[in-house]
Chains A and B, each alone.
Chain A
Amino acid sequence: MGNQYDAIVIGGGHNGLVNAAYLARAGRKVVVLERRHLLGGAAVSEQIFPGYTFSVYSYVVSLLRPEIIRDLELPRHGMQILPLESSVTPLPDGDYFAAWNDSDLTRRELYRHSAMDADAYVEFGRLMHHMARSVKPFLGMIPPDPTSLAPGDLMGLLKLGGHLRSLGAERFHALYKLMTMSSADYLDEWFEFGALKATKSASGIIGTFMGPRSPGSAYVLLHHYMGEIDGAFRAWGFCKGGNGTISNAIAAAARAAGATLRTEAAVKQVLVRHGRTTGVVLESGEEFQAPIVVSGLDARRTYLDLVESRELPDELLEQVRRFRFRGSSGKVNLALSELPDFTCMPGVGAHHRGAFSISPSVEYLERAYDDAKYGEFSRRPYMDIVFPSMIDPDMAPPGKHVASIFVQYVPYQINGGWTDAKREAFGDAVIDTLAEYAPNLKSAILHRQVLTPADIEKTTGLSEGNIFQGELALQQLFFLRPAARWASYRTPIRGYYQCGSSTHPGGGVMGAPGRLAAQRILADA
Chain B
Amino acid sequence: MTRVFDSIVIGGGVDGLVAATVLARSGSTVLLVEAQPELGGTFREIEFATGFRAAPLAPELGHVDPRVLEATGAVLPVAMTPDPVVVSIGQGEPLLLRRSIAATAAGLARHSAKDAAAWPAFSARMHALAGFLAELYRAAPIQLEATGLDDYLLLARLGRKFRGLGRSNMVELLRALPMPLADLLDDSLESEPLKGMLAAIGVADLCQGPASGGTAINFLHRHVGAAPGVFGDRLRLQSGGGALIKALVDRARAAGVTIESGATARKLQVTDDRVTGLQLASGEEIRCRSVISSLDPHASLLELLDPVHLDPEFIARVRNIRYRGVTSIVLLALDGLPAIRGHEAARTGTILIAPSMRYVERAYDASKYGRVSEEPVVELRFPSVLQSNLAPAGRHIATLRVQYTPYRLREGDWDATRDAVAERAIAAVERHVPGFSEHIRHRAVLTPPDLEARFGLREGAVSRGELALDQMLFMRPVAGASRYATPMTGLFLCGAGTHPGHGMTGLSGLHAAHAARPR
Contact = CB atoms under 8 A, between A and B. Distances in A.
A49 interface: no
A524 interface: no
B150 interface: no
Interface in B144-197: 144-145, 167-168, 170-171, 174-180, 183, 187
A189 B320 contact: yes
Contacts of A322: 183, 187
A177 B168 CA distance: 27
Say what secondary structure dominates the interface of chain A.
helix
B170 A473 contact: no
Contacts of B179: 473-475
Given A173-B475, A363-B369, A373-B361, A214 B144 contact: no
Nearest to A177: B470
Given A165-B144, A213-B368, A215-B469, A180 B320 contact: no
* Residue picked from A181, A475, A480, most chain B C-beta under 10 Å: A475
Contact of A215 (B170, B213, B320, B479): B213
Contacts of A485: 167, 171
Contacts of A424: none
A484 interface: yes
A172 interface: yes
A474 B144 contact: no
B183 A324 contact: yes
B212 interface: yes
Given A169-B145, A214-B180, A474-B178, A181 B470 contact: yes
B214 interface: yes
A399 to B, nearest CB: 45
B208 interface: yes
Interface string A301-316: 0000000000000010
Instruction: Assign chain B's interface to a size class.
Output: 35 or more
Interface string A474-486: 1100011000110
A165 B365 contact: no
Interface in A305-346: 315, 319, 322, 324
B470 A216 contact: no
Interface string A201-222: 0000000001001111100000
A385 B381 CA distance: 53
Interface in B456-489: 468-470, 475, 479-480
B322 interface: yes
A217 B320 contact: no
* Residue picked from A179, A180, A324, most chain B C-beta under 10 Å: A180
A432 interface: no
Contacts of B368: 213, 363, 366
B395 to A, nearest CB: 43
B211 interface: yes
A215 B174 contact: no
A176 B369 contact: no
B514 interface: no
A272 interface: no
B342 to A, nearest CB: 33
B125 interface: no
Given A169-B144, A322-B187, A215 B468 contact: yes
A215 B171 contact: no
B358 interface: yes
B174 A480 contact: yes
A374 interface: yes
Given A147-B170, A147-B171, A213-B368, A180 B178 contact: yes
Interface residues of A, number: 37
A215 B213 CA distance: 5
A215 B208 contact: yes
Nearest to B482: A173
Given A146-B174, A173-B479, A374-B358, A474 B213 contact: yes
Contacts of A484: 171, 174-175
Interface string B193-222: 000000000000000100111110000000
A214 B470 contact: no
Given A172-B144, A214-B212, A177 B475 contact: yes
A109 interface: no
Contacts of A185: 322
Contacts of A216: 178, 213-214
Contacts of A177: 470, 475
Contact of B214 (A172, A189, A215, A315): A215
A183 B368 CA distance: 14
Interface string B351-365: 000000010011001
Interface in B339-379: 358, 361-362, 365, 368-369
Contact of B365 (A179, A210, A370, A475): A370
A179 to B, nearest CB: 8
A363 B368 CA distance: 8
Nearest to A186: B470
B178 A475 contact: yes
Given A177-B470, A214-B180, A475-B176, A146 B144 contact: no
Contact of B470 (A164, A176, A324, A475): A176
Given A165-B145, A181-B470, A373-B361, A214 B211 contact: yes
A146 B170 contact: yes
Interface string A160-183: 000011000100110011011110
A475 B187 CA distance: 13
A315 B361 CA distance: 31
Contacts of A173: 144, 475, 479
B358 to A, nearest CB: 7
Contacts of A214: 180, 208, 211-214
Contacts of A366: 368
B212 A213 contact: yes
Contacts of B187: 322
8 contacts: A147-B167, A176-B470, A176-B475, A181-B469, A210-B213, A214-B208, A324-B183, A374-B358
Given A177-B470, A216-B214, A480-B174, 18 more contacts: A147-B170, A165-B144, A169-B480, A172-B144, A179-B178, A180-B469, A210-B212, A210-B213, A213-B208, A215-B214, A215-B468, A216-B213, A315-B168, A370-B365, A374-B362, A475-B176, A479-B174, A480-B171
Interface of B: 143-145, 167-168, 170-171, 174-180, 183, 187, 208, 211-215, 316, 320, 322, 358, 361-362, 365, 368-369, 468-470, 475, 479-480
Nearest 6 A/B pairs, CB to CB: A216-B213, A474-B178, A215-B214, A180-B469, A484-B171, A173-B479
